[in-house]
Amino acid sequence: MESQALVKRYTEGLAAALKSEEEYETVSRELAEFSDILEKNDELREVLLRPFLAAAKKAQIVQDILEKQPSQAKTRRLVLLLLQHRRLEILSRIVRDLPELWRARQGVLTFEVRSVVPLKDAQKKRLEAELRKLEKSQVYCTYVLEPGIIGGLYIKKGNMVYDVSLKGQLERLKEKIRER
């Protein structure tokens, strides 16, 4: 639980430090690239997470990597801050959570829409228009295929869920039967 709170704190701090859409796009991409390097290179990840290696040596390794791929000062600062506080392992979650927090700071609500089959563009536009009307705000939807819902849609915004899936309806029916 503490880890999720740390991820949120760092992600919110980063989102607050970003001043424009262009800067967000650049820093987000650079962090994702660095995170990918860590994910794909077991030896590097092990060295950077090793508690007995001198912090200065780790910082030099990270700086060498960041210099090879041009990066913004905010990208370097965050990666080095995470390294300094021995929290580099949360970088991938920061990268994952940053888009939603950035959009929220811009007044855009993020929804995850799950369906059995891909929605057509016209269906997506209609759904997004309905969500905008319902929420009285700009919306951004990510679309995920999930065969387990059988049919319909499963729409999630943060902790709120609109479950209009066949699976959800069957679950609710099952609960009603149990109550009797």
Domain locations in the chain? Answer: 2-103, 108-179
| Average pLDDT value for the chain | 87
What average pLDDT does range 127-139 have in this prediction? Answer: 92
Give the pLDDT band (50/70/90) at residue 96: very high
How many alpha carbons lie under 13 Å from residue 61 in its C-beta half-sphere? 19
**pLDDT cut 90: percent of the chain above it:** 44
pLDDT of 15 over the 90 cut: yes
Can you name the CATH fold of 2-103?
A: Peroxidase; domain 1 (1.10.520)
pLDDT tens-digit readout, 30-47? 999 999 988 898 888 888
- Asked whether the beta carbons of 123 and 155 are under 8 A apart, the reply is no
How would you classify residue 50: left for phi > 0, otherwise alpha for psi between -120 and 50, otherwise beta?
beta
pLDDT of the residue at 65: 85
**Is 81 a residue whose pLDDT tops 50?**
yes
